[in-house]
């Protein structure tokens, strides 16, 4: 109504019809683009070596947790993408809005198109993005900062830093948020690589530098970490084919020892080869041999060729 009256009186225009707005939001990364994709099957049929690879299943589960963490912290970017900015300048868009979940908190997201030489390749266009929040009349604190390159976020690269200490200070943190900063490094070229660095345990994940590399055919690598209930720490380097077959090399640290473990699995996640000198796997434990004496099980030639 007010817009219509202003238009009537001043012949001014109202609306959000803007090609530049679209150009700006196309540069923002989508949370789906930053997902880890591990093609491990869910079904666990009867396996020759008696069991499915728990590390393969673990890779899939950890990938799902990472994706959920990315969704949790980047959900606000998706909300920004689908709304119009509140202010516009030639190379800057700002979205100001109240945090619907936290009364009294005002959010402000700003996206700056960094100046480049005229005629530069759009694929090299840098952007600077930040989300600040303010509670009541307090100072604005930065809760997210990102720097990315490329006009099309689906093929660009960048880094996103989420400051959980600031969000905790603003009392807008989630119950499972870790302390410190979470960094997401990504390059959505070929292969697609995502590195997520957690400075502290949280979001259902342990402090670690998770790395994913994915190829267009669905094959890739995924390095992840997890502790078990006994406090043992496992860091894994997995590699898998497009069908989900793969292999893992694991470094284990327990209270009394350190060692490595290797195994392979097929497309159904069934173990095809296990080399477990530490007797950590049910296959070796079933043999009842002392630690360090479990012979390799299965056929190493059954291990898939992975990228």
Partner 1 sequence: MNRVLPLALLVAAGAARADVHRFTLVVGDSQGGAGTRQLRYAERDARRIHGILTRLGGVREDDARLLTGAEADDVRRALLDLEGRAREARDRGEETLLLVYYSGHAKDGDLRLRDTRMPLAELRQRLQDSPADVRIGLLDSCQSGAITRMKGVRPAPAFDVQRARDAGPRGLVLIASSASDEESQESDEIAGSFFTHYLASGLLGDADASGDGKVTLAEAYTYAYGRTVGSTADTRAGAQHPVYLYDLGGAGDVVLTELAPARGGLLFGAADEGLYVVLDGQRRAVAEVAKAAGSSRRLALAPGSYIVKKRLEDAVLVGDVNVGDGVIEVADAQLSRRKLEDDPQKGASGPRWSVLGTGGYQVFFDSAARNGLFPPAVLAGVEMSARDDLGHQLAWGIDVAVGGGTSTLRLSGVPDIPVSFGELSGGISLWRDFEVTERLTASVGARLAFLYLFRSFTGRSDLPSQSFFTLTPGAELAFGWRFSPRWTAVARARANYLFYNVDKDQSLGYAEFALGVDYAFGF
Which residues of this chain interact with partner 1, rule CB under 8 A?
Answer: 3-4, 7-8, 11-23, 25-26, 30, 78, 81-84, 88, 90, 121-123, 125, 150-152
Please state the closest distance from residue 30 (CB atom) to partner 1, in A: 7
CA 20 and chain centroid, separation:
28
Q: Which pair of structure tokens corresponds to residue 82?
A: 């689908």
Rounded-to-integer distance, Cα 50 and Cα 273, Å: 11
Nearest to partner 1 of 152, 299 (CB atom): 152
Please state the closest distance from residue 148 (CB atom) to partner 1, in A: 13
Q: Which pair of structure tokens corresponds to residue 213?
A: 């590399």
Nearest to partner 1 of 2, 136 (CB atom): 2
Rounded-to-integer distance, Cα 289 and Cα 13, Å: 81
Whether residue 283 contacts residue 51, with contact meaning beta carbons closer than 8 Å, is answered with yes
CA 82 and chain centroid, separation:
21
Nearest to partner 1 of 4, 103 (CB atom): 4
Please state the closest distance from residue 99 (CB atom) to partner 1, in A: 19
Please state the closest distance from residue 187 (CB atom) to partner 1, in A: 16
Whether residue 280 contacts residue 262, with contact meaning beta carbons closer than 8 Å, is answered with no
In terms of DSSP bridges, do strands 220-227 and 92-98 run parallel, antiparallel, or are they unpaired? unpaired
Nearest to partner 1 of 79, 105 (CB atom): 79
Please state the closest distance from residue 174 (CB atom) to partner 1, in A: 23
Residue holding tokens 């470094």? 251
Rounded-to-integer distance, Cα 47 and Cα 267, Å: 11
Nearest to partner 1 of 27, 283 (CB atom): 27
Nearest to partner 1 of 126, 277 (CB atom): 126
Residue 91 exposure: Cα atoms within 13 Å on the Cβ side: 9
Strand blocks (E) in 199-243: 208-214, 220-227, 233-240
Please state the closest distance from residue 25 (CB atom) to partner 1, in A: 7
CA 100 and chain centroid, separation:
25
Nearest to partner 1 of 123, 293 (CB atom): 123
Per residue, what are the HEC states of 118-149?
CCCCHHHCEEEEEEEEEECCCCCEEEEEEEEE
Please state the closest distance from residue 13 (CB atom) to partner 1, in A: 4
């Amino acid at each position: 109504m007010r817009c219509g009256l202003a238009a009537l009186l001043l012949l001014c225009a109202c609306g959000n019809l803007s090609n530049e707005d679209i150009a700006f939001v196309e540069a923002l990364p989508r949370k789906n683009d930053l997902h880890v994709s591990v093609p491990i099957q869910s079904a666990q049929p009867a396996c020759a070596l008696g069991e499915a690879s728990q590390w393969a299943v673990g890779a899939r589960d950890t990938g799902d947790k990472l994706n959920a963490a990315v969704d949790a912290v980047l959900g606000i970017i998706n909300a920004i993408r689908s709304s119009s900015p509140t202010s516009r300048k030639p190379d800057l868009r700002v979205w100001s809005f109240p945090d619907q979940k936290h009364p009294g908190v005002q959010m402000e997201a700003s996206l700056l198109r960094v100046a480049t030489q005229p005629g530069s390749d759009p694929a090299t266009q840098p952007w600077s993005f930040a989300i600040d929040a303010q509670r009541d009349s307090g100072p604005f604190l930065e809760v997210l900062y990102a720097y990315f390159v490329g006009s099309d976020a689906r093929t660009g690269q960048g880094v996103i830093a989420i400051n959980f200490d600031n969000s905790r200070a603003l009392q807008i943190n989630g119950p499972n948020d870790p302390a410190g900063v979470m960094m997401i490094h990504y390059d959505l070229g070929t292969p697609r690589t995502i590195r997520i660095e957690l400075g502290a345990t949280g979001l259902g994940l342990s402090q670690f530098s998770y790395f994913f590399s994915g190829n267009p055919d669905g094959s890739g690598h995924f390095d992840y970490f997890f502790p078990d209930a006994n406090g043992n720490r496992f860091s894994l380097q997995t590699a898998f084919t497009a069908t989900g077959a793969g292999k893992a090399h694991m470094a284990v640290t327990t209270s009394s020892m350190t060692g490595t473990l290797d195994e392979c699995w097929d497309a159904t996640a069934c173990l095809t080869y296990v080399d477990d000198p530490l007797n950590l796997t049910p296959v070796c434990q079933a043999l009842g041999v002392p630690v360090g004496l479990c012979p390799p099980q299965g056929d190493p030639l059954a291990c898939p060729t992975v990228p």
